Structure 1
Amino acid sequence: MTETPFDEGERRVWAGNAAAYDGGFAKLCAHTVPLLLDAAQVRAGARVLDAGTGTGSAAAAAGARGARVTAVDAEPDMARRAAHTVTGARVLVAALPQLPFTQGYFDAVVGNFVLNHVGRPRAALDELCRVTRPGGRIALTVWAAPAAPGAALLGRAVAAAGVVRPPSLPALAAEEDFPRTPDGLAGLLRGAGLADVDCAPLSWEHRTTQREWWSGPAAGVATVGRVVLSQGPAVTERIRQHFELLAREFTDPDGALVLPHTALLASGRVAG
């Protein structure tokens, strides 16, 4: 299946950025992992797929529960880092919506924010259903919209500096998008034929520092990082200055940056 422009943009965004991601944004994304595994009913002995593993947080946690874990990521640098840090997992380079597994191979599938990074979310979900056995469970997280205040901080700094998303970073096609609400994500799962679908928001405060939170964009991590670096050092510095000013809203008396975030966690059972 031919990649969409969005998929191609994601490849450019994440290429070679595993270490920088692991040092900042990965800590935020790891917050949802225990509840994600609970929703997929990951247990000892189960064959579990972690789709879009990144640097391996969910794969490692599933392995700690005694599951037999396979992890995939579209970015080779992410897969290499996960393979070195996650004990006992089989880690492969593979991209949704085409995975190198037989039908019904896994007892459970998890995808921690993977649907945020694919150009065909419905086709990706169909593929996750294909590789899950009848009666097996799929659990997925996405970022909620509108973004929580902490999640919006970096985007506000970019906007305050007068910077717009460059055309080299295409957005998800409108016909492929879905509402990033509990009803919207639950509807996506039901549309894929999943039964017993449940979806709920997860809200938490991510504690970090200004230095750590800025380090990701400064290294070009994620779409916001590519936007930050898209117009040269002078503009990057202007964005950083706006970031420091806006970050004061979220800085506690001890100097920590406390960022409210909200994600959606949805799960369902493969019928049959």
Structure 2
Amino acid sequence: MTDFDDHERGRWAGRAEAYARSFGRLCAYPAPALLDAAGVTDGARMLDVGTGPGTVAALATARGATVTAVDAEASMIVTARTARAAGHFARAALPLLPFPTGAFDVAVANFVINHVGDPLAAVSELRRVVRPGGQVAITIWPYPRPPLQRLWRQAYEAAGGPPRPALPQVDAERNFDRTPEGLTGLLRGAGLDPLRCETLSWVHRTDPQEWWAGPEAGIGELGLLLDGAPADLRRRARDAYDRLTAEYRGPDGLLGLPTGALVASGRTR
């Protein structure tokens, strides 16, 4: 475990409900493509790491897979168990998973590698728990950032927020480029034979108030930037958010925010 891992654990503690009604809906979009990339079909033994509210696990179960789902955050497991009847849910975290080598046919991680301090060790652990000839599939947010991901820092800067203290980051020697080439290289370095890396682009439709509920609850980049901030700065940030998102509001009042993700998969040897 690194300082970055410890920081991430603290940031997500007790925030499952707020995540599920805000960022959880965004992260659900690539789930079908993730399962396709992993080749999840009827009868597959699948491990879903970082299950969150259990969205990917539920989709895999509907395909006929036998699902084990884990998350580092206890409130996520409670939410997933409540919402999803099928599958086995437990607490566990990368890069150390409590499963035998080769226990699964498939392992998936939906926007999890963004939140670990040693990405190579994390993907290597996913490879370890999958049998030879099985598949590992992951999603990450790409770089350069799409408009949706740029919005939060733009709102903070427009509000006149001061520079924030340095926070734990992934060590440079352990990090990787959030590009198709960087992600494919990560899979290869973890001992996988890369099969594909696809860039998904879509427009995230959401209610403005529900989307603001994420940073209001301390989730995401803006939530982190506003943590412990004075009430006046939080108010200015909300005003800036409303101004910046005005161009993305449709006649129905919902936001349509352009975004994207990388979906990659590799086969175990």
| Structures share fold, TM-score greater than 0.5 | yes
Residues 152-186 of structure 1 deviation map (CA, whole Å, 9 limit, x = unaligned): 11221012223356437422222221110111101
- Residue identity in the other structure for 1:84: T
Q: Would you say the 8 A contact 1:138–1:270 is kept in 2?
A: yes
Match of 1:46 among 29, 44, 47: 44
Structure 2 counterpart of 1:98: 96
- The 5-angstrom pairing of residues 153-164 of structure 1 reads 153-163=151-161
C-alpha distance in 2 between matches for 1:237 and 1:21: 21
Q: Which segments of 5 or more consecutive residues in structure 1 lack a partner in the other structure?
A: none
After TM superposition, list the pairs within 5 Å mapping 1:56-67 onto structure 2.
56-67=54-65
Residue 143 (1) aligns with residue 141 (2): yes
Aligned partners of 1:261 and 1:133: how far apart in 2? 34
Matches within 5 A, 1:1-272: 3-163=1-161, 166-167=164-165, 169-271=167-269
1:53 Cα offset (Å): 0.6
Can you list the C-alpha shifts for 1:214-245, whole angstroms capped at 9, x where unaligned?
Answer: 11111112343122233132211111111011
How far, CA to CA, are the matches of 1:102 and 1:124 in structure 2? 16
Q: Do 1:82 and 1:91's aligned partners in 2 also have CA atoms closer than 8 Å? A: yes
Distance 1:54 1:209 in 2: 21
Q: Return the TM-score normalized by structure 1.
A: 0.95
Give the aligned CA root-mean-square deviation in angstroms. 1.3
* Moved >4 Å (runs of 4+): none
Distance 1:95 1:163 in 2: 34
Q: Give the unaligned 5+ runs of structure 2.
A: none
Q: Which moved more, 1:86-95 or 1:103-112?
A: 86-95
How far, CA to CA, are the matches of 2:149 and 2:115 in structure 1? 16
* Aligned residue-pair number: 269
Question: What is the percentage of aligned positions where both structures have the same residue?
Answer: 51
TM-score scaled by length of structure 2: 0.96
Determine the C-alpha separation between the residues in 2 that align with 1:215 and 1:248: 17
